Amino acid sequence: MNARIATANTKTISPKKKIVFDSNLKIIFYLVLPLLLIPPFFRGLFFDFEADLAHIYTALVFAAYIFVRKDWIKVSRNLMDYAWIGLIAAYVISNFVAFNQRAAIEGVLRIFNFFIIYWLLAQTVSSLKDLKNAIGIMYISGLGVALAGLGTAYGTFWFKGAYSEGMILSTLQYHNAAAIFLVAAGIIGLYMAAVLENQWLRIAAGGVNYIILATAYGAGSRGAMLVAPVGFILLIAGMPKQYRFRVFVNFLAVLIPFIITAKQVLTFGVHSEGYYWGWLFLGIAMGCGVQFITERFFTLAGGTRRKIVAGAGIAITILAVALIFTLGSKILPSGIAERLTHLSLEQVNVQERFYFYRDAFALVKDYPVLGVGGGGWNSAYTGYQSLLYYTTEVHSHPMQVWVETGTVGFMFYVLLWIGLLITIYKIMRRVESPEFRALAWTAAVTAVSISMHSVIDFSLSLGAVAILMYASLGLVRGVERIEIEDTGAVPGAVAGAGSGVRTVGGPMVRKVAGAFLVGIFLLVSASFSIAAFKERDAVYAYKSGNVAEAIEGFESARKIDPFNFNYPMYLSSLYNELAYRQKNIMLTRTAVENAQEAVRLNQKSVQPLWALVEANLYAQMTTEAVAAAEEAQKRVPWRQDGYDNLTRVYISAAQQYMQKGQKESAREVLNRALAVPGLIEAQVARLGPNERRIWGHGPIPSVNENIKALIDEAGKVLKTL
């Protein structure tokens, strides 16, 4: 294979248009690698603050790529590339109909960031060594996530949010995301233990794989543990025959020590640090030991003995899985065993997710074509709820894409995976080298495993998990480019008329178009980051009691990031507070203007709407306050505080009307207050037996003591009118 590549390196097709890999791109490849290593350690890039900082780095790397790339733009023949373009376009278009402008723009930034990582890996890998280095960095990242989680659970060191209630969340701060990240890293690890050139590194990989996969189980994620066996089976079944048996034995090298040590290693909060680390190192030693035995076996064993060991290995695997699910707490910690061995569609959290999906589909039906923009679910879901729950995510990435980008974006997302299937099929059928096929298959299974989990959870909302998945797609694409597309065109080769290679533009077109895209990406990401720093200063000023300085800080942040509804919402509250202190009525109008701006920027959210209610009341804009309160209650029909606040606003509005001498208006809103129990009764009547059974977030709306007191007050006032 290397000889074939070396021969291709000197092949010339035409003296006119360069279209192939440039050796300068090696630098770009190495600049991409930190994006595969670091993201999990910054809260998984779930939050915008860390994500925008990552976007800045990605933009700079992409700019460097555009600068050093000097060949002509080649027409792609891969469906994944076009699916990416369509998906990005769908997110951009959805901005024009988005409920939350800031979140929608952030959605575009994130998907563009993922595309750049995919594209840079696909275009800058030039050899099997590059591919192994990239997937190896992902593997090392998984080891870091595992150790951070275990170390925090053992009390040796501390990462915020890395451990909670007997489950490992690690640096991603969400146990389901940590689990699938580690399962994906474990899939890579089984491959690494089979292909690393140094025997001792392969032996060490056996111990590392034990750490990663044991920690994955310590996260206690049902979904990830359902996906894991499917991923392992796919990996082994599709692996080229030269590596299939090795990968299977590598799996045994993890399974055997896990069965023996899991209960001791993963029963957190009971024993001393030394006890935990001692058992962990025993498990590592056993993993390395089994791996060492397998290495000796592959050196000495013949075909017949391999078949015998294969049969024994399959029996061991079946027995081990059966032990996990039948003995449960005798092998695993009781809490984890309970979560993993008692699976039922009738469980509350499972049923609740079905309601997430049903309500998300109702939102899709109302906005079927272009969707509601990034973050649209979080803005609007309370108005579509079948019962009360709190979630910022749909808990299904395909459904979330459908909600945010409509059917247009959803189709492109599906095409991305169809493109992967086509690409991996071509690689497995047409690429001669088993080394390349093994790596491509591992990357594809890694991506598919994460994707399967994302169907039932929001793991892909964490940028670190999404990067792992999309980078894996990039590696698959890179294998296709190296082994199929570029077998006749490599560094120094050129293409022109009659070469059969189609181009769409020269180096200058790439630089101009690329500079435009990078400029926007960098400018917006940097603006959001700078605004976030100013927001932090403003919050600190407010906590220090300096309202004027806090206002100045938020005003400054708003100028830099004019799409963030939080800034005018906070300013509305601050201007009201300042108006009260200074007895300045004009500031209340400023507060109203800011609240109105917040509502405009996040159209379906109840938060800015309640800020508008309060601002209108302070400004004596009574009719507007009542209208805003009624709209706010409609957006949260299952929340008790929605009815409490609505009744309170009716009473406050009546008092203001009476002060203005508008008795008829006062009488009208007081009668509306008396009608609140009827609103509650009609809403609660919609609950079925199953909704009542799984209800677990706050009380079912009722005429509580607060509402009773307000209604009594309303009745007394009515008698005086």
pLDDT more than 70, % of the chain: 89
**Torsion over CA of 331, 332, 334 and 335, rounded to 10 degrees?**
-170
For residue range 160-186, what is the model confidence (pLDDT) as tens digits? 999 998 899 999 999 999 999 999 999
pLDDT number for residue 487: 63
**What number is the average pLDDT over the span 243-254?**
88
Report the C-alpha gap between 589 and 550 in whole angstroms: 19
pLDDT number for residue 8: 35
DSSP string, 37-59: HSGGGTGGG-SHHHHHHHHHHHH
Residue 12 has pLDDT above 60, yes or no: no
Max Cα-Cα span within the chain: 101
pLDDT number for residue 6: 36
The predicted model scores a pTM of: 0.91
Tell me the two tokens of residue 30.
């190495």
List Cβ neighbours of 212 (8 Å cut-off, separation of 6 or more): 142, 143, 146, 182, 185, 186, 189
Model confidence at 491, in pLDDT bands (50, 70, 90)? very low
Q: Which residues of 641-654 are buried (b: 16+ CB within 10 A; e: fewer)?
A: ebbbbbbbbbbbbb
pLDDT number for residue 18: 41
Least confident range of 9-13, 245-249, 407-411, 501-505: 9-13
For residue range 200-222, what is the model confidence (pLDDT) as tens digits? 999 999 999 999 999 999 998 98
Residue 495 has pLDDT above 60, yes or no: no
Residue 101 has pLDDT above 90, yes or no: yes
Residue type, 566: N
Backbone angles phi, psi at 342, to 5 degrees: -115, 85
pLDDT number for residue 314: 61
Report the C-alpha gap between 674 and 683 in whole angstroms: 16
pLDDT number for residue 73: 80
Q: Across the chain, how many H-helices and E-strands are there? A: 29, 6
Report the C-alpha gap between 647 and 347 in whole angstroms: 36
Q: How many residues does the chain have?
A: 721
pLDDT number for residue 583: 87
Residue 492 has pLDDT above 50, yes or no: no
**What number is the average pLDDT over the span 310-335?**
61
**What number is the average pLDDT over the span 298-304?**
59
Model confidence at 2, in pLDDT bands (50, 70, 90)? very low
pLDDT number for residue 428: 96
Model confidence at 496, in pLDDT bands (50, 70, 90)? very low
For residue range 526-542, what is the model confidence (pLDDT) as tens digits? 999 999 999 999 999 99
Domain locations in the chain? 135-343, 527-720
Residue 578 has pLDDT above 60, yes or no: yes
Q: Which residues of 119-130 are buried (b: 16+ CB within 10 A; e: fewer)?
A: bbbbbbbbbbeb
Backbone angles phi, psi at 163, to 5 degrees: -150, 135
**What number is the average pLDDT over the span 322-345?**
65
Residue with tokens 């590549």: 5
- H helices within 95-127, ranges in order? 101-124
When the candidates are 3.90.700.10, 3.55.40.20, 1.10.510.10, 1.25.40.10, the CATH number that belongs to 527-720 is 1.25.40.10
